Structure 1
Amino acid sequence: MSTILVVEDDVDIRELERYALASNGYKVLEAENGKEAVSMLEQEDIDLVILDIMMPVMDGLSAIKAIRYTLQSSVPIIVVSAKGDESDIITALELGCDDYLTKPFSMNVLNSKIRAVLRRLSETNASSTVHHAGLLMDKEKHQCLLDGNEVELTATEFSLLYLLASTPEQVFTRNQMITKVKGSDYPVTDRSIDVQVATIRRKLGEYGQRIKTVWGIGYTYKES
């Protein structure tokens, strides 16, 4: 049974989320603000966090920073917020959240996102290989095969494609891609990422269409 921490200052919304998640078989813990959430993460074994942005004491963005940089935790975080501007979504993603859902929202959609994030995490932890309908990547061998034929990729191209393909449907900002592949201090521009992605698409041929541009944000990988 996966344990989910719901971080929400609105009692009615928190109760709705708690009931819906519990009905789907999850163990649910609750926090009223970011500070309380960070404290609970230090004490409890939590598999995923549902996090609001606008909260008293410590807001959601500050909580993401604390979770990622102070606690050094990689626990999946799904933001559920009324702040739906493109800039808000980009900021949360670049700070380290895994997905973003704007209010008002459907609990069916939230449950779908939770299942997808937990599934991706399980698959990533279970294997160093990625296999999607014709595409096979082996991280340990640094090998990329397309319908059984090897695709020649540079180290950076391989890392970028592996990042996207190993977490299908997850949207990455260009800055996230730079940080995850090269580190936060690496001098790479957003334009460089666009060029790398264009080259990967070309090398993959028709399969390159699986790498989708999310306008104004970054890129994601579709399995089909």
Structure 2
Amino acid sequence: MTRRVLVVEDDLTIAGSVAARLRAEGFEVSVAHDGPGGVAAARDGRPDLVVLDVMLPGFDGLEVCRRIQADRPVPVLMLTARGDETDLLVGLAVGADDYLTKPFSIRELAARVHALLRRVEKAESARRIAVADLEIDLSERRVHRAGEEAHLTPTEFELLVHLARRPRAVQTRERLLGEVWGWPEGTGTRTVDSHVKALRRKLGGDLIRTVHGVGYALEVPR
């Protein structure tokens, strides 16, 4: 998947150089030259990363950062000509993830962009659980199996996540009740059984294995 980068920079020479290098690195790049244009481009283009100058006409990069982060979280690499520590601190406070002080190396900027996206991808992967053909998105609370979305109740979702974090490991009904429902051990074990039955109905009967007299485990093909 091609990553999209938005460059918001009023200096046409710098903007052109940054855009050309990032395109050469394989990114899809759009450019804006003022504050309002940057906010509109971020809203409409939904970039994966924004390279953002602090000093912009219309309103400055700090306000641009504030507005685009209010719309949706997106990594921001801030550019500043002043090297003013206050600008940098404010930029980080309003949602910037990294910064470069002008003049900077285009090669270094490209390296920072790659590094920042790798960091974001790693954080995103931590919010997902993938076991065989089962995919669980923890941030959006969505579940897919073999590409088909399954609509789970909140408790069904929590139970599935709990089993998926330790695939093949058998977990007792009592432990599941305590950790998913927060109930005292030994009470209401039939509640677990009924929720497992619902998960099997929605995700397939082969997904969760019953260990008779003990509990359940998420089944993973070997």
Q: Does the TM-score normalized on the shorter chain lie above 0.5?
A: yes
Q: What TM-score do the two structures reach when normalised by structure 1?
A: 0.55
C-alpha contact 2:39 2:67 (8 A) present in aligned 1: yes
1:1-224 pair list within 5 angstroms:
1-69=2-70, 71=71, 73-128=72-127
Structure 1 counterpart of 2:20, one-letter code: Y
Structure 1 counterpart of 2:14, one-letter code: I
- 2:13 alignment partner, SS class: helix
Larger Rg: 2
For residues 68 and 58 of structure 2, what CA distance do their matches in structure 1 show? 15
CA deviation string 1:94-113 (max 9, x = no partner): 11100010000011111111
- 1:88 alignment partner, SS class: helix
For residues 43 and 91 of structure 2, what CA distance do their matches in structure 1 show? 21
For residues 14 and 127 of structure 1, what CA distance do their matches in structure 2 show? 34
C-alpha contact 2:43 2:68 (8 A) present in aligned 1: no
1:83 CA displacement: 2.1
1:6 CA displacement: 0.5
1:20 CA displacement: 0.8
- 2:110 alignment partner, SS class: helix
- 2:38 alignment partner, SS class: helix
- 2:43 alignment partner, SS class: helix
Q: What TM-score do the two structures reach when normalised by structure 2?
A: 0.55
Task: Provide the aligned C-alpha RMSD in A.
Answer: 1.6
1:128 CA displacement: 4.7
For residues 97 and 50 of structure 2, what CA distance do their matches in structure 1 show? 10
For residues 77 and 50 of structure 2, what CA distance do their matches in structure 1 show? 6
- 2:63 alignment partner, SS class: helix
CA deviation string 1:25-75 (max 9, x = no partner): 111100011211111122113110000011111210110111123x1x111
- 1:93 alignment partner, SS class: helix
Q: Which residue of 2 aligns with 1:213?
A: none
Aligned residue pairs: how many?
A: 129
- 2:37 alignment partner, SS class: helix
For residues 97 and 109 of structure 2, what CA distance do their matches in structure 1 show? 13
Identity of aligned residues (%): 36
